[in-house]
Structure 1
Amino acid sequence: MIYEERDYRIRPGKLAQFVATYGRYGLPLQKKHLGTFVAYFTTEIGELNHVVALWAYESLGDREARRKAMLADPEWQAYLDRVTDLIDIQTTRILNPVSYSPLQ
């Protein structure tokens, strides 16, 4: 199992709009296409205006195939049109759990 962490820095004043739009349009599509939805967070202390999403996949190949299918979905492209101007920076990391991690 691998975990993907996606960290989005949202433009100031747009966090609530981004979270609401993602919850209404983005998340249902991602649940349809991607692996296991683990968590979704916003920041409250430290650098603000961040949203962090965690997804679990069986492997990098599983992730690649699932994301490819999602990117081909016209509904996903329509969602991206709704949020592209709300995002300032995005970073993505692949995380591998160690043997004693509660998430495997």
Structure 2
Amino acid sequence: MLRIVKAAAKAKGFKSLSVVQKRNSSTSGIFELRQYHLKPECVGSYMAEATASSDLRKSLVPLRLFSLPEVGGELNVASHLYYYEGGMKDRAAKRKISGANEEWVSFVNSSRSGVRWQESRIYAEAPQFVLDAGGAKGGKWEGEGVSEPGVYEYRKYQLPLGYVTVPNFLEIYAEGVQEKVQHQDPATSLCTVMYTEVGKLNEVIEIWRHSCVGGMESSRFMAREAPKWREAIGKMAEIAIKFENEIVNPVSFSNWK
């Protein structure tokens, strides 16, 4: 499969062959985004149980961001973002351990009554040169150095199908985001960039942290004064078929606050 992707990228003349070459799914870290769509009348009880069992959760699985939506999409959705540094094998091993933990199984069974439906998707983290361009700490960051809670913004791009679509998009993104982060509110920072491995294919997500919604708006206006970012946005818009963003609030026990 990798040979096919390389050949396709080369045939199309993309510079982004390096993106394909740098991604090794057997050894690189992955994110899992699990979303629990809650019954409105059960949000309080679900979160009370989740909070009470939060220490156990974090001892079993590598939690990064646990959030509830503020605006921009469906409400009453508990989103759990995990980072497995050892990839799918690491995820399988940790889930096997958690599945054998009686206390954890008890919480899962008890909390299900408040859940309408749930979903899970796996994302690969963007190559290091993309993270470096935006000054992103990446999935290995566990939330150290943050004293006050902020808000998080999920920026989601749906791209057309094709082997080279995501690599080409990330190449363009990296060229522009380096200047964008120089035109931001001081409290705004890029956490990570990721793209689908399992689930809705060819989806790219940026996750940004802001001090507040006002800080997000300030950063958005400031970024419009960055010529290279404006140019990159124009090129990205030619590729993407859909874009949406969502603001979420981290809960008290979230590692990313």
TM-score (norm 2): 0.38
Cα distance in structure 1, aligned partners of 2:190 and 2:233 = 19
Does the alignment pair 1:61 with 2:214?
A: yes
Number of positions where the alignment pairs a residue of Structure 1 with one of Structure 2: 103
Residue of structure 2 equivalent to 1:92: 245
Residue of structure 1 equivalent to 2:180: 30
Deviation digits for residues 16-68 of structure 1 (CA, Å, limit 9, x no counterpart):
11011112x12202322231110110101111000011000001111111110
Asked if the contact 2:177–2:229 (Cα under 8 Å) also holds between the matched residues in 1, the reply is no
Asked if the contact 2:183–2:226 (Cα under 8 Å) also holds between the matched residues in 1, the reply is no
Cα distance in structure 2, aligned partners of 1:76 and 1:16 = 18
TM-score (norm 1): 0.90
Alignment RMSD (CA, Å)? 1.3
**Percentage of matched positions with identical amino acids:** 26
Q: Secondary structure at the match of 2:231?
A: helix
Cα distance in structure 2, aligned partners of 1:31 and 1:62 = 13
Cα distance in structure 2, aligned partners of 1:85 and 1:46 = 23
Does the alignment pair 1:19 with 2:133?
A: no
After TM superposition, the runs of 4+ consecutive aligned structure 1 residues lying more than 6 A away are: none
Any gaps of 5 or more consecutive residues in structure 1? none
1:74-93 equivalences in 2 (<5 Å): 74-93=227-246
Residue of structure 2 equivalent to 1:9: 158
Q: Secondary structure at the match of 2:181?
A: helix
Cα distance in structure 2, aligned partners of 1:73 and 1:29 = 6
Cα distance in structure 1, aligned partners of 2:170 and 2:228 = 18
Letter in 2 for 1:19: L
Residue of structure 1 equivalent to 2:31: none
Deviation at 1:75, TM superposition (A): 2.5
Cα distance in structure 1, aligned partners of 2:228 and 2:199 = 34
Any gaps of 5 or more consecutive residues in structure 2? 1-149
